[in-house]
Structure 1
Amino acid sequence: MTDLAEKLIMRHEGLRLKPYRCSAGRLSIGYGRNLEDNGISQDEALQLLRHDLAAARETLDELGLELDPVRQAVLLDMLYNLGAVRFRRFRFMLQAVRQGDFERAAREMLDSLWSHQVGMRAVKLAEMMRSGKVSDSVFLDTKG
C-alpha cells in the first residue's frame, strides 16, 4: 500500500529539485514537501550537509590542495558557505595555500567581501588557517 501511495504522490506532485511555490502558495521542494509547515528533520539536515560537504571535498581534490586536517576543514567551511564558483575567486588565497604561506592566506581571507559578510566566522577561520590549530573559541557560539 505504501509503494502505491508513493507512486501516486510522485505522479501527482512531480519532482522539483529547487524550492518553488505550490498551488496553495507554500514554499515546497521535491515531491511537494511543504517546507513552511513541515520543514525538515535534523536527520534530513545532516544528510544535506554531508552531501554538500562531499561536493566541497571533490572541489578541493580538483584543486589539488592537500592540507593538514585543520586547514582542510577551513577551506571546506569556506567552500560550503561560498559555493565552488565564488570560492575559486579567492585566487590569491589559494596561491598562498599552495605555497604554504598560511599567514598570507589568512590575510587574503580577511581582505574580502566574504569576510565582512560572515564576520567572526571569517576571523576564526583565518586564525585556524594561520595557526593550523583549532581554538576553543571556534565552538563557543553557533553563528561565528
Structure 2
Amino acid sequence: MLLHEAVQFPSSPVHQTMLTQSDIEDLFSLINKSIDRPSPGSGSQGSNRTVYSSEERKLRRMQSNRESARRSRYRKKKHLENLTSQLKRLRIQNRFLKNRLASTMHQHLLLSLHNDHLKSEAIAHMATLSDLCGILF
C-alpha cells in the first residue's frame, strides 16, 4: 500500500461500541492523516507536526471520554428513572391487589355465613317435612 492512499474501513461500525458516527469518522480521519505523506519542509516541522498530531489525538480522546461519561451518566439516570417509575407502578398494583384480596376474603366470609344459615334452614325444613310425612303416612 502506498503512503498517500487512505485506509478504507467498513461503512457500518460495530454496534457494540459506544462511539457515535461522528466519533468514528474523527478517528478515521486521524488515522488517514497519520499515514499521509509528510508535508515538504524542514525536519523540525515534521517533528512539530507529530507532536501536534499526538496532542490533537490526546485532546480528542479526552473529549471522547467526556462525551462517553456524559452518555453513561444519562443512561444511568434514565435507568434509575425507569426503575423508580416501575417501583411506583408496582406499589400501586400491590395496593390494588391487597384491597381486592381483602374484599374477596370479606365476600367469602359473608357467603360462608349465609351458606351456614341456609344449611341450618334446610335442616329445619327437612325436619318439618319428615314430621309431615310421619303424620300423613
The TM-score by the shorter chain falls in which range? Answer: under 0.3
Q: Which one has a larger percent helix, Structure 1 or Structure 2?
A: 2
Q: State TM-score, norm by structure 2.
A: 0.24
Q: Which has the higher contact order (CA 8 A, sep 6+)?
A: 2
Q: Which one has a larger percent strand, Structure 1 or Structure 2?
A: 1
- Structure with higher Rg: it is 2
Q: State TM-score, norm by structure 1.
A: 0.23
